[in-house]
Amino acid sequence: MSKVISIIPDRLAHYRVPVFDNIANNVDGLKLYIYSDLALDSSRIKKPTDGELKKSSFTWMRSRDFRIKDRLIISSGSLKSITDESNVVIIWGDAFSPGNWIAAVIIKVLRKKKLAFWTHGLYGNENWLKKKVRCLFYSLADSLLLYGSHAKKLLMLEGFSESKLYVINNSLDVGCQNRIYQENHSSRQRVDAEKFKIIFVGRLTKVKKLNLLLEASRLLIDSFSLEVDIVGDGDQISFLQKISKDFGLEGTVNFHGAVYDEKVLAKLIMCSDVMVSPGNVGLTAMHGLVYGTPVISHANASNQMPEFEAIRPSESGELFTEDNPQSLAESIVRCKENLENGVINEKTCRNVLEQYYSFTYQVRVFEQFLDKGLGVK
């Protein structure tokens, strides 16, 4: 069977383009179509330009998406892929997008093409009905590409065969970040004897639970010299500034606002001892680890993003009990001790990223997915 594949992402974020480009470049004999609508939506996600897409190794096919409150209802790409030359169609696996059900049934049943979903899978916090709907939807596919191992374990508990589940993880285009790292890592300071530096990078929203970081900082301030950099903007900034003042942390916590210059951001991260994301962590974990900075987040997989699996205790960071500032404070102390004794260092942080969250890893998994999962040689 020839390797002609159509992929229909829910939206084509800028960071996904290198992922698809590397797959198209490095999987032997592959012809890859990517269907996408570049029209603006409310996701705040940076999108690629027409020019960037035309330079890529895959073939970009313009489609039109119909959304309600930012949820994709149906993509014309799903419908176009039904009649194109591909023998495999990969749809971003949102079980609550009506168009995905329609396209899946037509592709699999009427057109007899191989069907796969690229999806988060199960989170573990679904109610009975939501879990049943998702499992029924995923059962339509010949194989699944998953963002994390937690989802794979949950699906296997629901009776899915391991042979159809492939953990491809996530990745960023680290080319620019690696160059910045190589230029600066020799002059960085890991653990300053005078101040232990903590950084958060991201949107200042309620779901990020930054009040927990401030509460943990209050618990630690008398134990050792501490500095907290909060980088980002959002609707919680006034609230966070107020409780920072209430906790007596005015000289400890610095609010930098949003920073978009990667070199400036890299310097802030590399001059920090640890990155802390008290709520869900997502791709922020990748950003910390690529610069050799360990990451701390909570351990409740059901309320996390898949990227939290990159946080390996005593290797690339620490995990704490969700919503517990005392546990967060203890995790910060453990991380500090592990940095001081060399158990955690730049190499251990970057190794996790390079081994399991790189383009090389994703291409290898994609090849296994085609060969063993779909029988496409």
| The architecture CATH gives domain 175-356 | 3-Layer(aba) Sandwich (3.40)
Over residues 104-113, the mean pLDDT reads 88
Is the predicted pLDDT of residue 189 greater than 60, yes or no? no
Neighbouring C-beta atoms of residue 109, cutoff 10 Å: 11
Distance CA 38, CA 297 (A): 33
pLDDT value of residue 68: 78
Q: Which of 50-59, 116-125, 141-150, 235-244 has the lowest mean pLDDT?
A: 50-59
For 301-333, letters b (16+ CB in 10 Å) and e give bebbbbbbbbbbbebbbbbbebebbebbbbbbb
User: What are the tokens at 272?
Assistant: 């920090």
pLDDT value of residue 53: 86
Is the predicted pLDDT of residue 41 greater than 80, yes or no? no
Is the predicted pLDDT of residue 44 greater than 70, yes or no? no
Phi-psi label, residue 202: left if phi above 0, alpha if psi -120 to 50, beta otherwise: left
From-to residues of CATH 3.40.50.2000 in the chain: 3-171+358-373, 175-356
User: What are the tokens at 152?
Assistant: 């794979």
pLDDT band at 244 (very low <50, low <70, confident <90, very high): very high
Contact call for residues 110 and 83 (beta carbons, < 8 A): no
The CATH number that domain 3-171+358-373 falls under is 3.40.50.2000
Mean pLDDT (the chain, rounded): 91
Reference 185, options 310, 269, 261; nearest CA is: 269
pLDDT band at 174 (very low <50, low <70, confident <90, very high): confident
Is the predicted pLDDT of residue 38 greater than 60, yes or no? yes
Reference 346, options 163, 233, 191, 136; nearest CA is: 191
Q: What is the pLDDT of residues 277-329, one digit of tens each?
A: 999 998 899 999 999 999 999 999 999 999 999 999 999 999 999 999 999 99
Over residues 155-176, the mean pLDDT reads 91
Is the predicted pLDDT of residue 78 greater than 90, yes or no? no
pLDDT value of residue 70: 72
The percent of residues in the chain predicted with pLDDT above 70, rounded, is 96
DSSP, residue by residue, 166-197: EE-------HHHHHHHHHHGGG--SS-SS-EE
Is the predicted pLDDT of residue 159 greater than 70, yes or no? yes
User: What are the tokens at 108?
Assistant: 């699999």
Q: H helices within 225-358, ranges in order?
A: 237-246, 262-270, 284-290, 325-340, 346-356
pLDDT band at 5 (very low <50, low <70, confident <90, very high): very high
Is the predicted pLDDT of residue 179 greater than 90, yes or no? no
Contact call for residues 194 and 225 (beta carbons, < 8 A): yes
pLDDT value of residue 154: 97
Distance CA 86, CA 6 (A): 6
pLDDT band at 166 (very low <50, low <70, confident <90, very high): very high
Residue scoring higher pLDDT (177 or 143): 143
Neighbouring C-beta atoms of residue 50, cutoff 10 Å: 10
Is the predicted pLDDT of residue 151 greater than 70, yes or no? yes
Rg over alpha carbons for the chain, rounded to the nearest Å, is: 22
